[in-house]
Structure 1
Amino acid sequence: MEKPLKIDPTKIGFDLDGVIANTAEAFIRIACEEHGYCSFTLDDITNFQIEDCIGMPAVLVEQIFRDILEDSVATGLMPMVGAVDVLGKLAAHAPVTVITARPLKQPVIDWFEQFFPRKTRDAIRLVAMGDHDDKLRYVREHKLQYFIDDRAETCNMLAAADIIPLVYSHPWNRNRHNLPTVENWQEIHTLLALG
C-alpha cells in the first residue's frame, strides 16, 4: 500500500493521542516529575502497552493515563509540533474529524479550547468512543477514506476494511505493520489537497 498523492480534506480523519496530542511526552514527564520514574525515553516505549516495555507497574501507568484523560489541560498535554497550524488550514476547507478511543469528551473539548483557535475548534467533529477496536464504525459513519492513527493494530484493522490508514510513526508501532507512515505534521500537510 502506497501513500496517496493528494488526500481530499473531507475524506480524512485523525486519532487524538499520539497524532494531534503529544501524549507520550506528557506521560514521560509526569512519570519522572511526579513519580520518580526518570530512566526511560520515548525510544524505550516500543509497545503500545507501555508497562510491557518499561519497568513501571501497570497500575501506575493506568493512573498517569487516567490523569491525562481526565484533565489534559492541567497535566500539561501539548499538541504535536505543527498540528495546530495544519489543522487550522484543513479547517478552512473541511470539517476536521477526530475519532479518539478516549471515553471522556469534555476534557478533549477543554484541551482544544486551550490550544486551537475558535475557527479551527468550530470545524472539529469530535467522537470520543472509548474503544480502540471500534473506530472502523465511526470512520465509516463519517464517510472517511483515510485515517491517521498511531496504533498499528487499529491501522491494520482499517486497512482490512478498505480504509487507507496512515500510521503516525512512533517507536511503539515500528515493525508492526506494512502500511504507509507519516513522520510529522509537515508531511501530513503535503499529503492534503488544500488548494
Structure 2
Amino acid sequence: MFPPVIFNYMLQHMPEDKIDAPENGFNFLDPISPSEIGFDIDGVVADTMEAFMRIAREEFGINYISKEQITSYWIEECLPVPLDIIKTIISRLLADPFGIELEPLPGAGEFLTRLAVHGRLTFVTARPAKETIEAWLVSILSDVSHGDIKVIATGHHSAKAEVLEELKIKYFIDDHLETCQDLHKRGIRTIVFDQPWNRGHTPFLRISSWKDLSGIIKGNEI
C-alpha cells in the first residue's frame, strides 16, 4: 500500500468527481509492477521544450517565449514564432539530440537506472525513427545494458495503443492528452506527466516529477 503522503498526493491531483469514478479504471492501492509500465520520451524523459526554446533564443534571437506559453501540444497554435522556424527547430530536435544538447528532465535518468534493475525499460515514441533518440537514451542511461532498453518509434500518436497491447504494457506515461485518452479507451491505464500543454480536467493520474513515481511503482528501492 502507498505511504499516506503518496496517496494524498494522488487524491489532490485528481478531480473530486473522478476519485471514485468507475471509468477511471485505476486502482490507486495497487502499486505498479516495473514490467507493466512503458514510457513516452519527449516531454516525459527528454526536456524537449527546453531545447526548443534554447535554440529559438540562441540561433534565431527569439527571447520572448517561455515554457508556460506552450499551452498546446502543437507549438504553432500557441507561440508567436514563424512556422518555418518552428519546423526547422523541430527537424533538428528529431535528427540530432546530441548536437542540440538535449537534456533529460530532472530525475529521469536516475529513476530509470534504478528501475532497470527489475527488468527491461520500454519506450514508445511517436517520432518517425528511433535510431537517434535510442542512442541518446543509451547515453543518459550509461549504467543500463543496451539490451535492457527497448525503443519503438510508431511515427504517429494513434499507433501507440496497438504497440503497447502487443507488448502487454498495462500502464503508460505520456504528456500528450489525446494519446492518454486513446490508450484509456483501449484499456491501458495512463499517467499524465504534467506539462503546460496538457493542463485541464482529466480522469487520469497526473504526476509532476519523476520523484512522484517512487511510491507508485513496486519496489522500495526504486
In structure 1, the residue matched to 2:11 is: none
Partner of 2:64, secondary structure, is: coil
Larger Rg: 2
Asked if residue 14 in structure 1 is aligned to residue 39 in structure 2, the reply is: yes
In structure 2, the residue matched to 1:172 is: 197
Say if 1:51 and 1:176 are closer, same or farther in 2 by CA, change over 3 A: farther
Partner of 2:122, secondary structure, is: strand
In structure 1, the residue matched to 2:17 is: none
Correspondent of 1:98 among 119, 123, 137: 123
Structure 1 runs (4+) greater than 4 angstroms displaced: none
Correspondent of 2:138 among 90, 113, 118: 113
Measured in 2, the distance between the counterparts of 1:114 and 1:62 equals 26
Deviates more, 1:83-92 or 1:107-116: 107-116
Measured in 2, the distance between the counterparts of 1:183 and 1:171 equals 11
Number of residue equivalences: 195
In structure 2, the residue matched to 1:57 is: 82
- Any residues of structure 2 matched to 1:22-171 within 5 Å, and which? 22-171=47-196
Q: CA deviation at 1:177?
A: 2.8
Measured in 2, the distance between the counterparts of 1:153 and 1:22 equals 20
Contact 1:73 1:110 in 2 (8 A): no
Contact 1:13 1:148 in 2 (8 A): yes
> Any gaps of 5 or more consecutive residues in structure 2?
1-23
Measured in 2, the distance between the counterparts of 1:42 and 1:34 equals 18
Measured in 1, the distance between the counterparts of 2:28 and 2:87 equals 36
Contact 2:138 2:144 in 1 (8 A): no
Asked if residue 184 in structure 1 is aligned to residue 206 in structure 2, the reply is: no
Contact 1:73 1:114 in 2 (8 A): no
Measured in 2, the distance between the counterparts of 1:125 and 1:17 equals 15
In structure 1, the residue matched to 2:28 is: 4
Amino acid at match of 2:136: W
Say if 1:161 and 1:137 are closer, same or farther in 2 by CA, change over 3 A: same
Amino acid at match of 2:154: M
Q: CA deviation at 1:3?
A: 6.5
Q: CA deviation at 1:114?
A: 2.5
State the Cα deviation string for residues 40-84 of structure 1 (Å, max 9, x = none).
111000000111111012222121111011010110100111111
Measured in 2, the distance between the counterparts of 1:178 and 1:85 equals 29
> Any gaps of 5 or more consecutive residues in structure 1?
none
Deviates more, 1:110-119 or 1:59-68: 110-119
Partner of 1:125, secondary structure, is: strand
TM-score by length of 2: 0.84
Say if 1:120 and 1:172 are closer, same or farther in 2 by CA, change over 3 A: farther
Q: CA RMSD in A?
A: 1.4
